Chains A and B, each alone.
Chain A
């Protein structure tokens, strides 16, 4: 998709200069305090709160004419909200867009990390609904702020331990909490726990935006990010034992697709670019034979 002229009458990428500066300052402080939620004066955007305004504000503050933008939701470029957000940036920034992870300089994502390993220089922008990892244990913001200030994370460890006592395992399958650089407890956004290992020592810069809750946080490249666990119950990802029906992958995150009303299922890669690329290579391989 090639660039176009941005929307007349609006600032580049919609946000006015003052808002961009405010977000840019928040981003820099977030990078300086990895995993800590920096409050910022989130603005109303033309898309509703809860639909990615935090990610959109981050992308709008970052993006420039030299960027190539990829937008995914549930790992796919073609889900309706990813389409809507990509169109928003095409209209307001006239920027080049792509579905290829490898070609993107900026990737905005909802609920997945791309399967294709990220490269130095890439920026991954996560859309975050609830930035506070302690929120389900403690509804009050005034209290959770304190807990982060003094690293009082005991209640989280207790909750996880209670899961083990009750269920035999930690009963958290997405938004699995992590410790960043050994200091801040952080929610990685509602990515499946399957994706958690990709957070650790990533060559990319990872930025997290929560528009409605008005917080920005960051993981600098190559940072230490560890999923919470216990010595006798280490963090692990169960192999799902399926293969993608389209490309055969056994080590990507797969979605069940219900085929008919007898409940027949098949499994398909959630990351559409990863799956398409694999299929292309398989076809080329076959053609070469």
Chain B
């Protein structure tokens, strides 16, 4: 006699036990430590903080460990944790102009005040697997000392490149890029997106958006799907201070420092009636050394300004609803993976429907003149 399948609870408990074992792996192999992940998988930690929308390297490292290295899963863990945190204030606007720079480059001028500082980057490495890394080696002391000295030689504060173009009014002012009238910055995590979305909401959505998705969209603009002729005006990486004005004090206090990567793209010039043409901007900002993300974000930011700048909207990267609704990988992975949930009731309804239509089709075939050859 048929007995319907039960025991869903037991199945889930068993699955969780198995997962726990798989996460730890072979007990003879040393367990990953949070310290190791933070120190030696920094870029993974940076990405998880960025898309998790929470700056906490320890928690991001924990999420990566718990998620067995699946960064999208780790991002989800961090986002869910973020939901539980109380909000006690908003920081002052971060002054990237005052950044303690460890890397700063520009593609639009050969030499710039403050110089081109390569810092630490994969850019000019030859992508050859380094088999010496297969073993854990000791003693990098001499190189560390050299790079420390190099860091101390970087000018501070580092002058911005935009100022060079600003002098001739060739670049739109930052304020011009916003429709804003001094109104409060909207908060994407408090109210859902509405269209048309202001630039503040767009940038927030892009900041926490999936790097792969934005990379592909940015790439598409370079290949003609809404090209806006981008140049890297400036990329800078380094540490900035975070300040807050507590209500009881009425003046700002510094509460810490974080590492940021900032990208200013200089794009196709636009003009308006009565206004001579100027270069336009795209902006990207990311935690840590997440430079590729900051660049992708800047490309898509500029693409999404098409409507505001009176440009034709014909590439997917310029389609505000398409981009902003599908950028969040926490939402995307949830909905894609939800297809694994039981859908047998709806499938049953579809079975019944298609059988009914086929039956009707078969009937009319008998009645009809049968000319479909």
Residues of A at the B interface (CB closer than 8 Å) are 10-11, 14, 16, 18-19, 22, 39-46, 48-51, 53, 73-76, 78-84, 87, 110-112, 129, 139-142, 167-169, 171-175, 190, 192-194, 212, 214-215, 238, 240, 245-246, 253-257, 259, 266, 268, 270, 272
Contact partner of A169 among B11, B192, B356, CB < 8 A?
B356
Smallest beta-carbon distance B286→chain A, Å:
20
Give every chain A residue within 8 A of B352 (Cβ-Cβ).
173, 238, 240
A83/B8 contact (C-beta < 8 A), A16-B84, A41-B189 known: yes
Give every chain B residue within 8 A of A192 (Cβ-Cβ).
345-346, 348-349
Contact A41 B321 (CB under 8 A): no
Contact A48 B337 (CB under 8 A): yes
Contact B192 A246 (CB under 8 A): no
Contact A79 B349 (CB under 8 A): no
Say whether B353 faces chain A, with CB atoms less than 8 Å apart: yes
* Cross-chain pair count, CB within 8 angstroms: 151
A212/B353 contact (C-beta < 8 A), A44-B76, A142-B195, A255-B344 known: no
The closest CB in chain A to the CB of B192 belongs to: A214
* Best-surrounded residue of A40, A129, A212 (most CB of chain B within 10 A): A212
Contact B192 A49 (CB under 8 A): no
Say whether B330 faces chain A, with CB atoms less than 8 Å apart: yes
Contact B321 A141 (CB under 8 A): yes
Say whether B199 faces chain A, with CB atoms less than 8 Å apart: no
Say whether B148 faces chain A, with CB atoms less than 8 Å apart: no
Contact residues on B (Cβ < 8 Å of other chain), bracket: 35 or more
Contact A83 B321 (CB under 8 A): no
Contact A268 B349 (CB under 8 A): no
Contact A73 B341 (CB under 8 A): yes
Give every chain A residue within 8 A of B344 (Cβ-Cβ).
74, 255
Contact B342 A44 (CB under 8 A): no
Q: Give Cα A38 to B80, complex, Å.
A: 23
Give every chain A residue within 8 A of B336 (Cβ-Cβ).
50
Contact A174 B349 (CB under 8 A): yes
Contact A171 B357 (CB under 8 A): yes
* Beta-carbon contacts under 8 Å, B337-373 to A: 337-338, 341-346, 348-353, 356-357, 360, 364
Smallest beta-carbon distance A59→chain B, Å:
16
Smallest beta-carbon distance A83→chain B, Å:
4
A81/B331 contact (C-beta < 8 A), A44-B76, A167-B357, A168-B360 known: no
Contact B351 A256 (CB under 8 A): yes
Say whether B12 faces chain A, with CB atoms less than 8 Å apart: yes
Contact A173 B346 (CB under 8 A): yes
Give every chain A residue within 8 A of B79 (Cβ-Cβ).
44
Q: Give Cα A126 to B181, complex, Å.
A: 41
Smallest beta-carbon distance A131→chain B, Å:
12
Q: Give Cα A246 to B338, complex, Å.
A: 30
* Best-surrounded residue of B333, B350, B352 (most CB of chain A within 10 A): B352
Say whether B251 faces chain A, with CB atoms less than 8 Å apart: no
Q: Give Cα A139 to B80, complex, Å.
A: 28
A256/B9 contact (C-beta < 8 A), A48-B338, A73-B342, A212-B335 known: no
Over the window 301-340 of chain B, the binary record of Cβ atoms lying under 8 Å from chain A Cβ atoms (1 yes, 0 no) is 0000000000000000000010001000011011111100
Contact partner of A48 among B86, B191, B334, CB < 8 A?
B334
Contact B357 A169 (CB under 8 A): yes
Q: Give Cα A278 to B122, complex, Å.
A: 68
Q: Give Cα A245 to B341, complex, Å.
A: 25
Say whether B190 faces chain A, with CB atoms less than 8 Å apart: yes
Q: Can you name 25 A-B residue pairings with CB atoms under 8 Å?
A: A44-B79, A45-B83, A49-B335, A50-B335, A50-B337, A53-B334, A78-B7, A80-B12, A87-B12, A129-B338, A140-B321, A141-B321, A142-B195, A142-B321, A167-B357, A169-B360, A174-B349, A175-B346, A193-B349, A212-B334, A215-B192, A246-B4, A256-B351, A266-B2, A268-B4
Smallest beta-carbon distance A179→chain B, Å:
21
Say whether B196 faces chain A, with CB atoms less than 8 Å apart: yes
Given A87-B12, A141-B195, A173-B352, 4 extra CB contacts under 8 A: A50-B338, A129-B338, A173-B353, A255-B344
Say whether B144 faces chain A, with CB atoms less than 8 Å apart: no
Smallest beta-carbon distance B88→chain A, Å:
12
Contact A45 B80 (CB under 8 A): yes
Contact B2 A112 (CB under 8 A): no
Q: Give Cα A190 to B336, complex, Å.
A: 16
Give every chain A residue within 8 A of B360 (Cβ-Cβ).
167-169
A255/B348 contact (C-beta < 8 A), A82-B8, A83-B8 known: yes
Smallest beta-carbon distance B279→chain A, Å:
30
